[in-house]
Amino acid sequence: MKLFILRHGEAEPLVCDDASRELTERGREQVAAVCRARAAELSEVRTIWASPFVRTQQTAAIVARHLGLPVTTETLLLGDTPASAVLQALATADGFPILLVSHQPLVGSLVNGLCGSGNQHPMGTSSLACLSAEVWANNCAELAWLQHKL
């Protein structure tokens, strides 16, 4: 099975409410560029899950337009959610390959935990990872590739 993990694009500075921060124009462009660069691989995605925060919804919408898919809002994809909670949800999920659109530190914890790579794989804004595994558990996945913003 494949799992794609995308960190939201560059967002406006924190003013008062982190959840309502929007993508910057540069952030939108970087997400779109990553989608174009990995269009062939992303065409495999069947399901998109995104955090409820504005910037992740906007990021997921950019990808969804490229793929012609709906976005499912998943509250468990907040940045401070334990990776184990996401792994439990993936264990019973249908519709793989799934694209998760979320925040740090969750995206980094998922990529590095699943691959057993410590902190070897940084997940900056607009970074997109593709992992493959038979089961979604720590140290059980292989990183197929990691695309950073262009």
CATH of the domain at 30: 3.40.50.1240
Indicate the number of domains in the chain: 1
Q: For the whole model, what pTM was predicted?
A: 0.97
What does the pLDDT read at residue 14? 87
What does the pLDDT read at residue 16? 84
Mean pLDDT, rounded, of the chain? 96
Where in the sequence is the domain holding 66, given as residue range(s)? 2-147
The tens digit of pLDDT for each residue in 71-111 reads 999 999 999 999 999 999 999 999 999 999 999 999 999 99
Q: Give the count of beta carbons closer than 10 Å to the beta carbon of residue 8.
A: 28
What does the pLDDT read at residue 15? 80
Tokens of 3: 């799992």
Residues of the chain with pLDDT under 50: none
What does the pLDDT read at residue 87? 97
* DSSP secondary structure letters along 95-124: SSSEEEEE-TTHHHHHHHHHHT-TT-S---
Contact 19, 114 (CB under 8 A): no
